[in-house]
Amino acid sequence: MERDKDYGAFMERFTVQPTPSSQQRLLDGLTFAVKDIFDMDGHVTGFGNPDWAQTHSPALATAPAVLAVLRAGATCVGKTVMDEMAYSINGENVHYGTPTNPCAPDRVPGGSSSGSAVGVGASLVDFSLGTDTGGSIRVPASYCGIFGFRPSHGAVSTAGLVPMAQSFDTAGWFARDPVILSRVGSILLQLPDNGLVRPSKIIIAEDCFKLLSIPSARIKNVLVEAVKQIYGDNTLSYVNLGDNVEHNVPSLKNFMRKDIQSQEFNIEPLVALSNAMRLLQRYEFNNNHGEWVKTVKPHLGPGIAERVWEAINARGDNIDACLLVKTELQAALRGLLGDLDVLAIPTVPGPPPKLQTEAASLETFRVRAFSLLSVAGVSGFCQVSIPLGMYDNLPVSVSLLARSGSDKFLLNTVETLYGTLKEQAEIAEIPSS
């Protein structure tokens, strides 16, 4: 195994050349890396943990998502470091090392697709593949100042991936510019490009921007001004997302906890939404990997060990209520968003935390982060994290969401918006990344 000397993004380097195909080769000449959760024929899928790698045999076939980009002309240069068992959004791995955040070396790169994001952010590859269950594409994309796309749930094949929690697992990707992001999407989504379609509305979730630890105007106003320039004032709309969710997802009452109200400013219905999401994730993770964990008793790093054993020991109550939340939220957001509407929220509540920050110190940040991440996670809608340069020398971003199945529409919207977004970021004195 050869690790990248500068950024530690790779846990294993090898070269897999493009495979012959009659498909249009949209990715000719591009290089990519693969999170160590995707099967690659002849290689052990390590799932971020040495004990997992030692107790599993080499894969007998390559995951369809990887094959698709190979057949489109891209060259795979290796597998990347990830959080153990995909169970973190920090990106720190005690076994293989923490990939260095290219935007902020003293900060976490974000996980669990940490190495995949760092490989793109550090220009080691043109794009990379990762997965997003609770935020593992969107968070590292934001922290590393790059684009990250979480597709609609089920839109990209997850065959040949180690499952984390199937109700939420998605295969996504990273890129440094929206053109490559969209080209990769054309291959993985297997959808025709119907050209650029004007959004009917871009809806700003005002309450979500209040969760930011930096001045919300630095993010929200950049987006608003860009939308005004390209689409006009009439395209903009505003919503209190928490109120909308609370009124239209009645089953959330099962996940409203008394301690939510005592915390610093948060959006209570979205905290309840994230509680439901994490409960169902724990249940499915235990079904997938509980026997292996109890039998092997793997060595797991700080934070990961506690999270894994919490899942293994969970009682599995309220699972039907979790599934009802999913159904109700999907209906609520379909009611809020038309076929050509886009919802704007922060990707995360602030810049990346410092390396080795204690979990207790991160709790308020994590609550806010999962409040935001759970919207697409639970609904299964597609979401893209868009870099907006730096603020106080740390990367910042904004996210756009669209209805399930509107992935190409969302990618095309990003292509249209991004040039003006960069200009507005510079006007707002956020240097371009």
List the catalytic residue out of 79, 88, 112, 113.
112
Q: Pick the catalytic residue: 35, 201, 326, 408?
A: 35
d(CA 366, CA 417): 29
Average pLDDT over residues 53-82: 98
- Write out the two tokens for 106: 């003293």
Global pTM value: 0.96
The share of the chain scoring above pLDDT 70, in percent, equals 94
d(CA 367, CA 197): 35
Residue for token pair 């697709």? 113
Strand arrangement of the beta sheet that strand 10-16 belongs to: 10-16, 75-80, 31-35, 127-132, 170-175, 147-150, 382-391, 394-402, 341-345, 201-205, 236-239
Residue-level pLDDT at 194: 65
262 is catalytic: no
Residue 175 pairs in a beta bridge with 127, 147
Residue in 88, 113, 128, 136 annotated catalytic: 136
Alpha-carbon separation of residue 74 from 71, 126, 165, 186 (angstroms) = 7, 9, 29, 13
Q: Is 22 a catalytic residue?
A: no
Q: What 3-state class would DSSP assign to 14?
A: strand
Q: What angle do CA 123, 302, 309 make, to 5 degrees?
A: 115
Reply yes or no on whether the pLDDT at 213 is more than 50: yes
Tens of pLDDT, residues 298-321: 999 999 999 999 999 998 889 999
Mean pLDDT score, 259-288: 88
Q: Which residue has the tokens 């839109």?
A: 155
Say what the pLDDT of residue 1 is: 42
- The DSSP bridge pattern shows strands 170-175 and 236-239 to be unpaired
- Please, what are the domains in the chain? 10-189 (3.90.1300.10), 201-427 (3.90.1300.10)
Look up 361 and say whether it is catalytic: no
